[in-house]
Structure 1
Amino acid sequence: MNKKIFAPIILMTAMLLSACSTAPKTTSMLDQARMDYQAAQNNPNVLTLAPLEMRQADIAMNEANKAAKENESTDKIDRLAYIAKQKIGVAQELTKQKQAEAAVADAAKARDQIRLEQRTNEADRAKMQADQAKAQADQARLAAQIAQGEASEAQRKAQEEQAKALEMQNRNAALESQLAELQTKVTVRGIIITLGDVLFGVDQAKLTPDGMRTVQKLATVLQNNPQRTVLIEGFTDNTGSQAHNQDLSERRAAAVRSALVLMGVSRDRVLTKGYGESYPAVENDTAQNRQLNRRVEIVLSDANGNIGQR
């Protein structure tokens, strides 16, 4: 009975011992190599930066695992595991070295980029300053041109005013020379030229030859001074009726105007007015005074064509 119970137990124990004797061996060195290898495999940088070294580590690790699987001696397994561990270490160190070199290169590249950006910024600032200086110079040049133009314009206007003043002086001098041949007087209304009674027919509105010559001189004055106009005023003494005297004064003023127009003076530059007995030059108390009152006065306008009111 007891023999039957112990026989299966002995058989199972033998089987277990046999199974244990066929299981792969391992050592602490091999376990460390395996952990280092797994860590290297899990690091993508090692696979990327040290592919040749990892290939050598793969071969060494496979040899160590093969020795363990074939139950080689512990010394051999440890030796192969040590070699694999060293190659794994070489791959890891090379990876660190390349990472450090890459970091240095990146740092240098970053420094170069920073320097490039600094130089670019300095160039941009210099260009901006140059542009600003150019803009300021352009503004200054434009301001100078404007100032010069304004000065030139002011000088031109001053020269024009001087020329106009000189021309006016020359015209006034010429006018004075021309009027010197006529009986003129200067009043607040302007220059007045008087045509006496002797320049007309007795009690008539027809100019005598002497009267025509006098009017011709006046026409020459007006032609040489186109900016001036005239007002022709007729007067009589108090002899005869007021109606007759009024009519005679108007006809004599109109006769002078007609003569001026025939001599080339524009009609719109000549106005007429008859006053009859009004506004006597002197009292009508003598024949000589009455002759002085029988007259035609021609009022010459100023340089702007203005004639003062009576």
Structure 2
Amino acid sequence: MTETYLPPRQPPIPPWTYPGSGVLPPEPPQKKNRFRRNTVALLAAATLAAGGIGGTVGALVAGDDGAAVQTTSAPAATTSDTRPVDVSSVVAKVQNSVVQVNMRTANAQGVGSGVIISADGRILTNNHVVAGAEQLSVTLADGKTVDAHVVGTDPSSDLAVIQADGVSGLAPAKFADSSSVHVGDEVIAIGSPAGLQGTVTTGIVSALNRDVTVPGEEQEPQQQDENSPFPYMQQEDQSSQNTVSYKAIQTDASINQGNSGGPLFNAAGEVVGINSAIYSPVSGPDGSAGSVGIGFAIPSNTAQQVIDQL
């Protein structure tokens, strides 16, 4: 009997798409890691079937990590308190600090999330949530929707600060020191996946210092708040705007389209990260994809640095 050697089967390369474009050419074999940004911007509105709720659904923006992912993972935290986290109590404490961010262009609309950072309506979100928006509004936890405008953006970190108009007495979130986060810590994500506002998911910190690289948003100059000391950051080298890289917190808490810009809380109800990207090995014809338990958040210390520039 003659034996025939069969080479190992290579996994298929998933289609990575951009909003409004076709399938990208297959990447070279050495590029094995892809990250997807969970934005819902720039797709025509659709209607959610669940519960008859009106909302928008969109495509993921694909990113290319040109090198193997490098990880520096801290050991799991040790504590004498082994009691399980009371998720309902944490959510009740922080849910009023989370908003839905609604953006609209001339022919499309999208949904993201944000976290309140001041009682008078300053809100932190992702730059890719608001980039290119011609109209902007936020829906508060009580269901009230108010107009909003961009105060400042930092495309290099994919963060932006917006202002909700005509509000006061809001509940700002408390930010934690992300350098004290450990692998294994329990975390809670709150946001508006697919426009389902106030959705809560839980998980743990899976890894720290993940190198994440995603495409940057090319943004036309916008008229900013004349009272704002925080200008839109423009880079002379336009090619440098093509990608955004950062060290991320990895979590298995479910993060989907619409969670972008929303907070990742620790067990004390403090923000440890801003949910910004997911990895998904499979996508639909329109580029849509869902959580497979690999999500990424910009650390809260990075977010604080951007906020402090205001």
Fold similarity call, TM over 0.5 = no
Structure with more strand by fraction: 2
* Larger RCO, structures 1/2 (Cα 8 Å, 6+ apart): 2
What range is the shorter-chain TM-score in?
under 0.3
Which structure: greater helix fraction? Answer: 1
User: What's the TM-score once normalised by structure 2's chain length?
Assistant: 0.20
